[in-house]
Structure 1
């Protein structure tokens, strides 16, 4: 395809009769950066990728200086859009400099009506960026100064790319040879044919993207840079080149804005293709239908919207509250419990709370074969779980000598092996996918507070805590976080089914009633534990004591373990 004297290399996938999604790559990439995302979208859309001028299979303008202005890049985009989707607007997706271009396309008057939606990641509008800088310079508060300095430090490479000749020499020399290895080490990108052999030339030509646009546009940003199509902003939280704060106030420029965040580094098209494909599909489908998807209102909606979350023990208590909290944040929820009716009620409540969709599954977490089937079914029908919450558990009180072998097997099968099954089956799939995730294991303050009447229960929860610590170390290199939650005394139904070893049925019922009354008096709701669970995932926290007594007990167990042992010798108030 020819535009402005430049030959553009364009690739198409999928049925041309379907809505067209145009993927625009960044620097120093070519269209191959999108390959994993494109193949995931091709079943639902007509997918178009093109090499930006001077990159991949596209030819470079002559002379290079002045050949990469946003005006000429807009000409290229319109030529592509007119050729692949004549008379019908396209859905634009951009990464890095592809996103910088995309902001120009979606705010320029001459492209109005040609863009149905825009998904932006890892690349700001230069106009919005220019105004962002001006606002902070006009009011140089400490916070504004810190933000300017922070983004200035992240933009170190921009200054280098403005130097004459040196970037070209570096990319055509040692940097070009070492770049694939740098990406593998810093971004954990697999060596699967990306980047392509054209990288040194692409990067050398692409330096003019910065030289032709950055200084002039930042110093004189447009005043009319308002988006004329709905925009989905995807922000990688660990981006080494762009600060989250760069998008503060974006709503002023984008009336129809959907925000997403992702715990990932800069090159998300390579490291998170599943998540990007799902969000792009959801956004494009909603735009095409004319009925935008309902916006989740939960506190962490930008973080969990559209993610797949599985919660065990979801029929009641902490599990139900956690499933609903993720639903309010816009997650897709799988509610698992051996109580089929209770799981179904939670799934229905999750849909009403804001989950795009929710499903109920029946399984006993202590049954390894049942969990194998559950993992296979969930993966086949819904995909790989993004967040796993191993919450299911049972209570058992009683001294060691009164606890039978059968009691030990029952509590370890549920409280420990149930967690092991979940981590192995769902965590293993997360690791195999290679796109990160998070595992939450609900332990207990009893994991670090010994008691002479909770021997088996405390042992099972202490094992969960150490399992979580070990898995956190093992999975760290695969971007899978692991958190152990230690709730403390929380008002749930666990006391109603608690076992008391060494007593007859009447005494067991009396103890259950007494324990339930004490828990009600404590009156700590499971919703607060659910909040702690979501916060732990967002912050990637290792161990989270929730209630005041759990936090003080954790502190005391480390500061004065002898005092904790002495307390463990006391008789409980039952």
Structure 2
């Protein structure tokens, strides 16, 4: 059974074996060929392929000896890089005879794809190459030799570090034992091991052919690794643009392996991802987004994708960031701040036109992609629908900013039950909905993330005029602190941002209770003038939000009055209580 829904399958004969090839997407579009690693089959790409098929003609095949492809006889000598290159050429001759293809490889799929993109007989047949979690054996051999010739402490440390990570390579060279292990206890336990270590949750993956796939695939290592590491090719230069996606938490490969890669791939675009090894399964949305961007740029005539240039581009480029209340003020500024760092941005606001404008401007300032969603965060059903749509269409959110809020001012006894419901529904329940829905997705993915809840200095600075608003923000602050404690062990940070007087449009929508319509408009205008004279820009709050995520800060007061009140709340709360009795003239 295949997880590649709607795929068209065919069989291609080459070198005495038959390869099982699957295709998705419309013919005539740019062809993207996905090559799987060890001990996988083409099914490892199912989630990525489904996303890419919306834009491209996607081709996947089971490497010889894996999945539904037949194995060479004898196995020894049947998995050399030269024969794997023959297989690749047979596939692209069949699916794209007159047009170069865009090549993508993961793990051993990337290792063999480095061979494809550096040998003369494929020149002109490959338009681009995206590499994930698999170095060129030739580049690896030169990397080792350079460190052996000049054994500085740093380079010796790199050799020892990668040597420890490569323990499985030594094991796979052991005669017969790997086959016995994979066809026996290891093959049975491998799915549970992946679920525990890599947080893979799909029960249909790996496929039932795993024991034989892994046993056959041991010859990928035996037929190639020692020979290439001892005598690496001197001409292993990539003849197509290369995109390198480095998983920073990869248990098998050190990022240092790619330190000198520009020597071999001068048209190189680098990406980094805070993830483990199996990113086609754990981060398909991010992987598909980067492949789409890279392929599209090459098709448009660019030979190298320009990475985001913002201050925090290394941290956020390509990550998925969702901001509520993004139609204006702090929310819009925050969307722009993450866009400048190259993030993919989802702008959420109850005003569809404002959300759309934010998304459009986010693309202009640097967002990889940006979308608008019109949702009232206080509507639980609507938020449920949004969370399902985001996960299905865009992927799991990496950074969630719960910013949407409303203002309410006036005496406690003038505040009606309906007033209380409205301010709590948006300011508190909107945050709860966001944390519950998107935070759960982060937990299930198992790759970490960050939640930012925009509270207020009113969370710890009491005021006789802000009982409902202050209560809602105090609840957000305590929720954030409690959730931070719960999620600490799952790699998910939680920050509470507490601004003071910020020059946004919130004053024009604040409700002043206990007064008539005319007085309410006068107070709104007076408050707007006060905030305007203070003139603290929302962009500074947005910068504080980005820094809070980078530094994993717990509580961040923003503006001088917010910082002063925070200090007084700790050192002299009686002073704050005295100030709370003051009734300002509005």
TM-score interval, smaller chain: 0.7 to 0.9
2:257 aligned with 1:246: yes
Match of 2:213 among 202, 223, 240: 202
The answer for the alignment partner of 1:54 in structure 2 is 65
CA contact (8 A) 1:472 1:542 kept: no
2:326 aligned with 1:318: no
CA displacement at 1:102 relative to structure 2: 1.0
Q: Given the superposition, is the C-alpha separation of residues 494 and 177 from structure 1 closer, same or farther in structure 2, using an over 3 Å criterion?
A: same
CA displacement at 1:67 relative to structure 2: 3.3
* Count of equivalent residues: 566
CA contact (8 A) 2:452 2:497 kept: no
CA contact (8 A) 1:487 1:550 kept: no
Distance 2:494 2:470 in 1: 18
The answer for the alignment partner of 1:226 in structure 2 is 237
Structure 2, unmatched stretches of 5+, are 1-11
Distance 1:429 1:395 in 2: 30
Q: SS state of the match for residue 107, structure 1?
A: coil
Q: Given the superposition, is the C-alpha separation of residues 383 and 441 from structure 1 closer, same or farther in structure 2, using an over 3 Å criterion?
A: same
- What are the superposed Cα offsets for residues 287-343 of structure 1, whole Å, 9 maximum, x if unpaired? 334357664333444665555543222233321211112222334434344566654
2:583 aligned with 1:568: no
Q: SS state of the match for residue 579, structure 2?
A: coil
Matches within 5 A, 1:193-342: 193-291=204-302, 295-301=307-313, 304-305=316-317, 308-338=320-350, 342=354
CA contact (8 A) 2:36 2:109 kept: yes
Q: Given the superposition, is the C-alpha separation of residues 129 and 457 from structure 1 closer, same or farther in structure 2, using an over 3 Å criterion?
A: farther
The answer for the alignment partner of 1:354 in structure 2 is 366
CA contact (8 A) 1:269 1:276 kept: yes
Q: SS state of the match for residue 499, structure 2?
A: coil
Q: SS state of the match for residue 265, structure 2?
A: coil
Match of 1:118 among 109, 114, 129: 129
CA contact (8 A) 2:25 2:57 kept: yes
CA displacement at 1:348 relative to structure 2: 3.7
Distance 1:566 1:53 in 2: 75
Q: SS state of the match for residue 310, structure 1?
A: strand
CA contact (8 A) 2:106 2:134 kept: yes
CA displacement at 1:369 relative to structure 2: 6.6
Matches within 5 A, 1:377-396: 387-396=399-408
Distance 1:167 1:252 in 2: 36
The answer for the alignment partner of 1:462 in structure 2 is 474
Distance 1:550 1:153 in 2: 52
CA contact (8 A) 2:245 2:270 kept: yes
- What are the superposed Cα offsets for residues 519-566 of structure 1, whole Å, 9 maximum, x if unpaired? 44xx5x433433443455567x37252548699789969xxx763533
Q: Given the superposition, is the C-alpha separation of residues 491 and 141 from structure 1 closer, same or farther in structure 2, using an over 3 Å criterion?
A: farther
Q: Given the superposition, is the C-alpha separation of residues 123 and 391 from structure 1 closer, same or farther in structure 2, using an over 3 Å criterion?
A: same
TM-score (norm: length of structure 2):
0.81
Compare 25-34 and 386-395 and name the one that shifted more: 386-395
Q: Given the superposition, is the C-alpha separation of residues 162 and 377 from structure 1 closer, same or farther in structure 2, using an over 3 Å criterion?
A: closer
CA displacement at 1:175 relative to structure 2: 1.1
Compare 207-216 and 120-129 and name the one that shifted more: 207-216
CA displacement at 1:28 relative to structure 2: 1.3
Q: SS state of the match for residue 238, structure 2?
A: coil
2:35 aligned with 1:24: yes
Q: SS state of the match for residue 335, structure 1?
A: strand
2:531 aligned with 1:516: yes
CA displacement at 1:454 relative to structure 2: 4.8
2:431 aligned with 1:419: yes
Compare 6-15 and 499-508 and name the one that shifted more: 499-508
2:541 aligned with 1:533: no
- What are the superposed Cα offsets for residues 24-83 of structure 1, whole Å, 9 maximum, x if unpaired? 111111222223333443454333322223323334444444433322322222222223
Match of 1:543 among 551, 554, 571: 554
When the two chains are superposed, the root-mean-square deviation of aligned CA atoms in Å is: 4.1
Distance 1:402 1:156 in 2: 70
The answer for the alignment partner of 1:151 in structure 2 is 162
- What are the superposed Cα offsets for residues 477-511 of structure 1, whole Å, 9 maximum, x if unpaired? 9x794633314336432674456777976995697
Q: Given the superposition, is the C-alpha separation of residues 28 and 549 from structure 1 closer, same or farther in structure 2, using an over 3 Å criterion?
A: farther
Q: Given the superposition, is the C-alpha separation of residues 185 and 515 from structure 1 closer, same or farther in structure 2, using an over 3 Å criterion?
A: same
Distance 1:155 1:553 in 2: 53
The answer for the alignment partner of 1:171 in structure 2 is 182
Distance 1:236 1:550 in 2: 42
Distance 1:139 1:401 in 2: 78
Q: SS state of the match for residue 578, structure 2?
A: coil
Distance 2:26 2:485 in 1: 45
Q: Given the superposition, is the C-alpha separation of residues 65 and 328 from structure 1 closer, same or farther in structure 2, using an over 3 Å criterion?
A: same
CA contact (8 A) 1:449 1:568 kept: yes
Compare 393-402 and 458-467 and name the one that shifted more: 393-402
Compare 561-570 and 501-510 and name the one that shifted more: 501-510
CA contact (8 A) 2:495 2:549 kept: no
CA displacement at 1:431 relative to structure 2: 7.7
CA contact (8 A) 1:329 1:355 kept: yes
